[in-house]
Amino acid sequence: MTTESIMVCVYYGPTGERLIKRGIRLSQLLNCPLYVLRVDTVPDEELDMDEVRYLSVWKKLVEDAGGEFINKECKDRKITETIIKVAEDKKITQLILGQSGQTLWQQMTKGSLVNNLLNRVGAIDIHIVAVKRAVDQLEETHESGVKAYLVPSGNTFQLSESPSGKDVREGVFFKDLHTEFDSGLFKLQVEGNYIYVKINMGKVTDPSVITGKVKK
């Protein structure tokens, strides 16, 4: 066993599994302890079924590899402090983070999370893993795509196997792995360009991406 100690920071979503697998490979290569930290501002009792399923898959993946899964609720949104505290407690020497334009951490810190960590973690090495674009990682994180439709429903769109009504959008639905619900990514064409929108429990989470109108 070396003096190295690795911690992977993850947040709910398909990229978490990729980061964990990267951490597992590195810990096996260095023959050192592995920790996976999940920090969230949402209490566990408020998680939806898909999020609960992701956590279950992550925990099993980490435990099967001989690592420790750490779950922290961060009520005051001081995510940087939480990461640093756990890193100090576990004597972490290498930290793995995912870099994506869609992560909660980047939205909350406006890109400052990595800079804050770099300025405060001291001798810890930080690995920034560039998360693949959705189109590149679909085979690893989602089921094969199937033809589907988005049907207007209230102020959003509902996933449907058949078109009905007006303003129906046709596309391809890629269902998340490890879920029994209609959650995943929907590929469709908007103004001549193909885009991917997030589907959660059968509904589009951000209809403004399609309509251009921000929900009030």
Q: For 111-121, b where at least 16 C-beta lie within 10 A, e where not — what string?
A: eebbeebeeeb
The three-state secondary structure class of 52 is helix
Q: Which CATH number describes the domain made up of 6-131?
A: 3.40.50.620
Q: Per-domain residue ranges for the chain?
A: 6-131, 137-211
Q: How confident is the model at residue 102 (pLDDT cuts 50, 70, 90)?
A: very low
More confidently predicted of 130 and 7: 7
What mean pLDDT is predicted for residues 99-111? 46
* Residue with tokens 């956590």, as numbered in its chain: 55
- Beginning with the edge strand found earlier in the chain, give each strand of the sheet holding 94-99 in spatial order: 68-73, 34-40, 6-10, 94-99, 125-130
Mean of the per-residue pLDDT values for the chain?
79
pLDDT 10s digits, 46-98 = 666 767 777 888 899 999 999 999 988 776 557 788 888 999 999 999 998 87
- Distances, alpha carbon 136 to alpha carbons 15, 188, 197, 214, in Å: 12, 16, 15, 28
More confidently predicted of 150 and 118: 150
Task: Using the predicted structure, report yes or no on whether residue 134 has a pLDDT greater than 60.
Answer: no
Task: Using the predicted structure, report yes or no on whether residue 34 has a pLDDT greater than 80.
Answer: yes
188 near 137, Cβ under 8 Å?
no
Q: Which tokens sit at 196?
A: 């991917």
Q: For position 215, what pLDDT does the model report?
A: 46
With a pLDDT cut of 90, the percent of the chain lying above it is 25
Burial group, residue 190, by CB count within 10 angstroms (0-12, 13-18, 19+): middle
- Distances, alpha carbon 24 to alpha carbons 7, 42, 76, in Å: 10, 26, 30
What mean pLDDT is predicted for residues 183-210? 84
Q: For position 106, what pLDDT does the model report?
A: 45
Q: For position 62, what pLDDT does the model report?
A: 95
Residue 26 parent element (H or E): helix 15-30
Q: Give dist(CA 50, CA 184) in Å, integer.
A: 10
Task: Using the predicted structure, report yes or no on whether residue 178 has a pLDDT greater than 60.
Answer: yes
CA dihedral 73→76→77→83, nearest 10 degrees, is -60
Q: For position 2, what pLDDT does the model report?
A: 61
CB neighbourhood size of 171 (10 A)? 21
Return the minimum-mean-pLDDT range out of 73-87, 96-110, 139-153, 177-191.
Answer: 96-110
What mean pLDDT is predicted for residues 7-16? 77
